[in-house]
């Protein structure tokens, strides 16, 4: 059974309603929706990484890797509540990108590339840095309020 985006959205809405009824002001519901969004982003990255090679502007491949994995590490802020959670998500992102690079060796017309893995890692570090900065600003604002 596959989880289509529409089924994922309905499941997230059901979970959100249940969590809002718990009385935490919807914060846990928002984290759940954020996690579902993050998983949908992951599914798109995996599909693009293991599917047919897409045409792109020459010389932009590493930029695509940087942006995709930066977005994955950075959007962990949608559900992670602490620096440790963000760092764990970024490390997981880099490890998963390594697994995807290895799997590309078994996909026709694809091959693993250490430079792709490096771009993924740099992108994840950049996304992590932005997410940590946002988390720090949020914490300072909540402490001063």
| Burial class (CB within 10 angstroms; exposed 0-12, middle 13-18, buried 19+) of 1 | exposed
Distance of CA 140 to the CA centre of its chain: 25
- What separation in angstroms does the CA of 133 have from each of 43, 57, 112, 117, 137? 26, 32, 32, 24, 6
Neighbours of 128 (CB within 10 A): 23
Tokens of 105: 């060796």
pLDDT at 27: 75
Q: What is the extent of the structural domain holding 61?
A: 5-144
List, for the chain, all residue ranges whose pLDDT scores fall below the cut of 70. Answer: 1-6, 8-26
pTM to 2 decimal places: 0.79
Measured CA to CA, the distance from residue 77 to residue 134 in angstroms comes to 8
DSSP reduced 3-state for 53: coil
Measured CA to CA, the distance from residue 139 to residue 3 in angstroms comes to 35
Tens digit of pLDDT for each residue in 24-61? 666 788 888 999 999 999 999 999 999 988 788 888 99
Whether the CB-CB separation of 82 and 131 falls below 8 Å is answered with no
pLDDT at 113: 95
| Burial class (CB within 10 angstroms; exposed 0-12, middle 13-18, buried 19+) of 28 | middle
Sign of torsion over alpha carbons 7, 90, 69, 47: negative
């Amino acid at each position: 059974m596959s989880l289509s985006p529409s089924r994922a959205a309905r499941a997230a809405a059901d979970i959100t309603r249940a969590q809002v009824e718990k009385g935490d002001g919807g914060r846990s519901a928002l984290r759940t929706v954020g996690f579902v969004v993050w998983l949908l982003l992951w599914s798109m990255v995996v599909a693009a990484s293991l599917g047919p090679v897409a045409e792109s502007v020459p010389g932009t491949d590493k930029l695509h890797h940087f942006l995709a994995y930066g977005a994955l590490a950075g959007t962990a802020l949608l559900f992670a509540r602490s620096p440790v959670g963000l760092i764990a998500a970024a490390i997981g992102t880099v490890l998963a990108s390594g697994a995807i690079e290895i799997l590309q060796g078994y996909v026709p017309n694809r091959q693993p590339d250490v430079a792709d893995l490096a771009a993924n890692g740099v992108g994840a570090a950049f996304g992590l840095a932005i997410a940590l900065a946002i988390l720090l600003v949020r914490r300072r604002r909540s402490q001063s309020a």
